[in-house]
Amino acid sequence: MKIILNSYHDPDKGMDWNEQTPIIERRIVGIMEEFSESVDYSIQETNFGVGADWPTIALDVATIAGVGFFAVPEAHKRVREALEEWQLISANIKKLIDWIGGKESIVAQPIELIFIAASEALLSLVKNDDAVFLKYEEILPAGSHEEISGLYDFRFESEGNEWKVLINGQKDIKAIAKV
């Protein structure tokens, strides 16, 4: 699971981007060490700039307390079947995101949590108790001028209708509609 952090400060405020990186990495290691569960993770400097540099930190989380995470399911997977299990597993990652978010600015949450939010939003709207996941597409990448946290189009089928859920990287629903 990849969490994108906006940890850098403008170089005009004292230090160039590359001078900030080791300080930021030490700060994130400290944050992760203080978390209540053991976390297997890696830190990577990334650049989401579109036309200009926008350095960010990608925090790749492999496990929390020895538990691995799910991926966005394959197409044609029933959502309700998997959602209950994923919600249990995602509780730890949500706890970690809340922990990090209190200390660092989060640009975009993991696509897996965005998928859960899109699924829950759709299931709260349709009369049917279930839906089938069809596919998703990244409409705008994180760092876009139009939607800084990215924009995703998740497609589902429910009772013979195709549904579209547009959601950003902060899990804000932008639109839900029949296609």
| 64 three-state secondary structure | strand
pTM of the model: 0.85
Cα separation, 22 vs 62, in Å, equals: 22
pLDDT at residue 19, rounded to an integer: 92
pLDDT for 10: 85
Number of other residues whose CB lies within 10 A of the CB of residue 118: 27
pLDDT on residue 143: 85
- Cα end-to-end span (Å), the chain: 29
- pLDDT under 70 in the chain at which residues? 49-52, 67-76, 82, 85, 88-89
Decide: residue 144, CB within 10 A, 0-12 exposed, 13-18 middle, 19+ buried: middle
Parallel, antiparallel or unpaired: strands 77-78 and 173-178:
unpaired
pLDDT value at position 51? 63
Q: What is the pLDDT of residue 14?
A: 84
Q: Give the type of residue at 82.
A: A
